[in-house]
Amino acid sequence: MLTTILKNGLTRRKLLGATAAAVGSAATASLLPKAAFAAGKVIKIGFLAPLTGPVSAWGKPGLDGCQIWAEWVNAAGGIKLADGNHMVEFIGYDNEYDPAKARTGATKLVREDEVKFIMMLGGDTWPGAQPVADTTGMLFSTLLPSDLSPDTTTLLAPAEVHPIYNVTGVEWLAENKPDLKTAVMCAQDDALGLPSVATYLAAFEAAGIEMQDAPLLFDPATTDFAPVVTKMLSTNPQIVCLDTAYSDYVHPICEQLFQQGYKGQIISCTADFYEQILEKTSVEFMEGFIFQFPDFDDPALNADFINFQEPNRFYEEYSKRHPGEWGAVSWEYASIMDLWRAAAEKAGSAEPDAVLAAMKEGGKGKHIFGDAEWWGKDLFGIDNALVGNWPVVVIESGKARIKGFKSIPEWYAKHGDLMKKHMAAYGQMWNQRT
Amino acid sequence: MVELLAQTGLNAIYAASYMSLVAVGLVLIFGVMGVINFAHGELFMLGAYTVVALYADFQLPFLFAVAVGLVFVGVVGLGMERALFRPLRDNPLGGLVASIGFLMILQALAVMGFGVRMEHVPPVTQEVIVFSEKVRLAVPRLFVIVAAVVLLTALWAFLKKTRFGWALRASAQDPEAAALQGISINQTSRIAMFIGAGLAGIAGALTAPLVSVNPYMGHSVIVSAFIVIIVGGIGSLEGAVVAAVAYAFVHTIVTTFWDGVIADIVGLSLMLVVLIVKPTGLFGTADRA
């Protein structure tokens, strides 16, 4: 074996040098004082999300982002609690967006791995994990606040107030392109699409934009979107709204809009991997496309009110490790961990009840996009969603750029009744969900 | 309204084209071998990934990648026939169960090889045939339509005009009698599997730039294909084509004028009505039903 290695270009001198360096490093490490974190002091965090399967794009990139977060935090000394510093370790469990697997995973993470906090995508998988939360008191987070209800006080939506933040995109559109007055919308008929439909309907009504047709719902198994697009374009809309759709839908719908000659405004919750859409359409076609998730190399994220450690460097590191995989959730779970870490250090403990109390103290919190408040009693029956500003992102010359941050609570203070009306019409109020 | 109907018609023709390719392959395999190949959607997926690998990753010509997709998936079909279906020929449920297992293996291999993400396949061309402001047909969709017409015509000619085709039809009608006439059941099974799998492969390859390519893309295709072959009559190639066209038109029209979810309900209701009124399907015979 050694002969083979040497034949393949590694000289004896290099080998001896490397061996010496390795031995030296090991010796040095063994002599270092154990100051940074005591052996065995590791806090485990559960990551219970779809890591494979059709919805994995909203799980796996989040875990990848969390690994970078953990490396940075651990390198800086770890989490500082009352009993010393602790390293952070993420324990992933692939629930494949299946409620039964979510329940198994939640049980395993709590009972076997003894995690202190579990992050989920939520949605269809939350009902699976909910009994575990209720029986163990484990602190959970979801990206979908429509999972919130007074039944589970330990479920938080600390990063993403999906789909409520979609109102900011419509509000910005109405302010900046006031001549656009008619819209159509399509959405997949699922737990993600329907509350977003209600939100967009409320936002369009508040903005004085007329819906030309009822939202066109399609089966999540749809692969050919030509009929959907044909129907939407049949009324000559000025705005086409893509609701909150997975990239498997957003990309082919955009391509169809392009192929069927649409030249108007597009608004969407997400535009993950939008470079690929650009390649399938054109820079001109995508100009002005509005969505809600910035690239983290955006200079606007360097503002003082942003509560995220070095967003530009995070984006650079992420893109280096996972080229072309940056998406809406790449930063979200990491931003939840920022909030969790601040609360744990404030409480001096990683125990779920202590962290929860510290996190919600005073009803205020540091959301990634600025100061925010714990909110949601109206819509979710419990103030467990952290809501503040949200960015409006527009594609300009082929690149996503933040055009501004708009306040969700301010919009809701003016138009909350509209939101409740449309949520109720789609059966999405917390007390309507089964 | 005329433009809307015309555009809907073009959309339906495209949907009927790729659905016909998939359904006819599935029917051919069942007709000759008596096996319901649940992995047929994954053969479609393999064809799409062939294009991802050769056209998107290695930047080889698209048509070359499509041709390789046909042959490669056909060869995979040969492997399935030899390793899975032939040893289980006397077990009525064996082939079905084996195909379910194989579909999971193919999905897992796709995940291992390409990851779980949606694959990006660059457009072959952005050219669009413009009939009027609101009636357009993208050239890549035209490729699918032309390919379906050419391949299905060629298959029809093969089955009707060649000795191998006669052997296939004889095996489909009565395998024992065909064997007594000296027709090799193994050979006809191999031919059926190669053609059936190859059709699924080329359908996946041709549509790869138009759909989201991911390891689970076969699921939605197989569901529609089963509806089509049940409506057309299990075992009937003509029935598969007619049902694919009918299903595509009904689904597209209902989606366009009502809703995509209602279109699914209508499609399934159509299948139920056919099963109740004519349990063998529109063109099926009692032997294979």
What's the first-to-final CA gap in chain B, in angstroms?
41
Q: Is the CB of A235 inside 8 Å of chain B's CB atoms?
A: no
Does a structural domain hold residue A156? yes
What total number of domains does chain A contain? Answer: 2
Cα–Cα distance between A256 and A285 in angstroms, integer?
Answer: 12
d(CA A382, nearest CA chain B) in Å: 32
d(CA A60, nearest CA chain B) in Å: 9
Q: Is the CB of A224 inside 8 Å of chain B's CB atoms?
A: yes
Chain-chain contact of A217 with B11 (C-beta, under 8 angstroms): no
Q: Which pLDDT score is estimated for B287?
A: 55
Q: What is the pLDDT along chain A (434 residues), one digit of tens a residue?
A: 333 333 344 333 343 344 444 444 444 444 443 344 445 689 999 999 999 877 888 899 999 999 999 999 999 999 999 999 999 999 999 998 999 999 999 999 999 999 999 999 998 899 999 999 999 999 999 998 888 999 899 999 999 888 999 999 999 999 999 999 999 999 988 878 888 999 999 999 999 999 999 999 888 888 889 999 999 999 999 999 999 988 889 999 999 999 999 999 999 999 988 999 999 999 999 999 999 999 999 999 999 999 998 999 999 999 999 987 888 799 999 999 999 999 999 999 999 999 999 999 999 988 999 999 999 888 889 999 999 999 999 999 999 999 999 999 999 999 999 999 999 998 888 778 66
Instruction: Give this prediction's pTM.
Output: 0.82
CA dihedral A228, A229, A235, A238 (to 10 degrees): 130
Q: Which pLDDT score is estimated for A31?
A: 41
Tens digits of per-residue pLDDT, B252-283?
999 998 888 888 889 889 888 988 888 888 88
Q: Which pLDDT score is estimated for B231?
A: 87
Does a structural domain hold residue A431? no
Does a structural domain hold residue A134? yes
User: Looking at the structure, do residues A179 and A250 belong to the same domain, yes or no?
Assistant: yes
User: Looking at the structure, do residues A120 and A171 belong to the same domain, yes or no?
Assistant: no
Residue type, A151: D
> What does pLDDT average to over chain B?
88
Nearest by CB to A228, which of B117, B255, B264? B255
Does a structural domain hold residue B230? no
Does a structural domain hold residue A31? no
Does a structural domain hold residue A36? no
User: Looking at the structure, do residues A383 and A252 belong to the same domain, yes or no?
Assistant: no
Three-class secondary structure of residue B61 per DSSP = coil
User: Looking at the structure, do residues A152 and A72 belong to the same domain, yes or no?
Assistant: yes
Nearest by CB to B260, which of A228, A252, A282? A228
Does a structural domain hold residue B134? yes
Does a structural domain hold residue B258? no
Does a structural domain hold residue B163? yes
Q: Which pLDDT score is estimated for B184?
A: 85
Chain-chain contact of B111 with A189 (C-beta, under 8 angstroms): no
Tens digits of per-residue pLDDT, A116-139?
999 999 988 999 999 999 999 999
What total number of domains does chain B contain? Answer: 1
Q: Which pLDDT score is estimated for A225?
A: 92
Nearest by CB to A230, which of B11, B138, B220? B11
User: Which segments of chain B have a pLDDT < 50?
Assistant: 288-289
User: Looking at the structure, do residues A210 and A338 belong to the same domain, yes or no?
Assistant: no
CA dihedral A127, A129, A131, A136 (to 10 degrees): -160
CB atoms within 10 A of CB A406: 20
Chain-chain contact of B116 with A255 (C-beta, under 8 angstroms): no
Sign of CA dihedral B90, B96, B101, B106: positive
Does a structural domain hold residue B116? yes
Contact B197, B73 (CB under 8 A): yes
User: Looking at the structure, do residues A265 and A253 belong to the same domain, yes or no?
Assistant: yes
Q: What angle do CA A55, A57, A60 make, to 5 degrees?
A: 105
The domain containing residue A416 runs over which residues? Answer: 166-291+392-425
Chain-chain contact of A226 with B212 (C-beta, under 8 angstroms): no
Does a structural domain hold residue B225? no
Q: Is the CB of A189 inside 8 Å of chain B's CB atoms?
A: yes
Here the tokens at position B287 are: 């032997």
| ipTM of model over 0.90 | no
Q: Which pLDDT score is estimated for B9?
A: 94
The domain containing residue B151 runs over which residues? Answer: 2-216
Residue type, B18: Y
Cα–Cα distance between A124 and A355 in angstroms, integer?
Answer: 26
Chain-chain contact of A230 with B256 (C-beta, under 8 angstroms): yes
Q: Which pLDDT score is estimated for A389?
A: 94
Q: Which pLDDT score is estimated for B88?
A: 85
User: Looking at the structure, do residues A171 and A279 belong to the same domain, yes or no?
Assistant: yes
Tens digits of per-residue pLDDT, B178-204?
888 888 888 888 999 999 999 999 999
- Which of A298, A323, A269, A322 minimizes the C-alpha distance to A396? A298
Q: Which pLDDT score is estimated for B94?
A: 85
User: Looking at the structure, do residues A127 and A192 belong to the same domain, yes or no?
Assistant: no
Does a structural domain hold residue B35? yes
Nearest by CB to A60, which of B116, B126, B133? B116
